[in-house]
Amino acid sequence: NPTGAAVDGDGCVYVADQSNHRIRKIAPDGTVTTLAGSGSATFADGQGAAAHFHNPEDVAVDMLDMYGFVYVADQSNHRIRKIAPDGTVTTLAGSGNAGSIEGQGIAAHFHNPSKLAVDAEGNVLVSDKNNGRIRSIAALLPPPTRGKLPPTLPSAYRDEMRALLDDSSFADITFVVEGEKVTAHRALLAARSEYFRTMLSASFREAQPSSEVPIGG
């Protein structure tokens, strides 16, 4: 009983296989695999078959998202789920209790969410069926993470990279902190932090080349 489908940028089709309580993936050559779901009508986050759905009715793919997350309207669990490319399932929003309460993450309540869509800003729009409402889940960026250059890099390479970073003529983004301008390199920021990678690849103002980004007040 497949009830919803979505297509990603590579031509793969994702299917809400409702009565089998699984999310299936169809490759462009027609090969069908199970992305996530054990087949048991219950609830659990986890990876692949360790995750449980209960009557998943619809799926959506964020076409602007470089990570390829799939969103699921897990109808009878009253939750919106999120599946990473490796099949890891987490709960994006919904407590599991049928209701109509606004809030962040599991503080929010849905009642049989049935359809999904993702808008141009990455917000997830939900048809909250039994509440008779259209709900919006904000696109929240993950907190910044710091990366480090691998310790095994040759010292000459480190020196060359340091010289490149110190040369402001190659910088392509500027942060303004309390009136002081700090230049940086978009590619390096994206490589070292998922936060910046998401920000700089999305349709935010900060993603525009040679932009100035104010920080703080």
Tens digits of residue pLDDT in 166-211: 666 667 777 777 777 777 777 766 766 666 677 666 656 655 665 6
Closest CA to 7 of 68, 81, 95, 79: 68
Indicate the residue type of 50: A
Cα 200 from Cα 92, distance rounded (Å): 22
What's the predicted TM-score (pTM) here? 0.65
Lowest mean pLDDT among 88-97, 106-115, 145-154: 145-154
Contact 196, 144 (CB under 8 A): yes
Closest CA to 77 of 113, 34, 48: 113
Q: What is residue 49's three-state secondary structure? A: helix
Cα 51–Cα 86–Cα 57 angle in degrees, nearest 5: 50
* Secondary structure element (H or E) that encloses residue 157, with its range: helix 155-166
Residue length, the chain? Answer: 217
Which residue did the predictor score with more confidence, 148 or 43?
Answer: 43
> Residue 25 above 90 pLDDT?
yes
What is the pLDDT, as a whole number, of residue 179? 75
What is the pLDDT, as a whole number, of residue 148? 47
Cα 105 from Cα 92, distance rounded (Å): 6
pLDDT digits (tens, 9 = 90+) for 49-94: 999 999 999 999 987 666 679 999 999 999 999 999 999 999 999 9
What residues contact 154, with CB distance under 8 A and at least 6 apart? none
Q: How confident is the model at residue 143 (pLDDT cuts 50, 70, 90)?
A: very low
Structure tokens at 95: 């407590």
pLDDT averaged over the chain? 83
Count how many Cα atoms sit within 13 Å of the Cα of residue 183 in the half-sphere of its side chain.
11
Q: What percent of the chain has pLDDT over 90?
A: 53
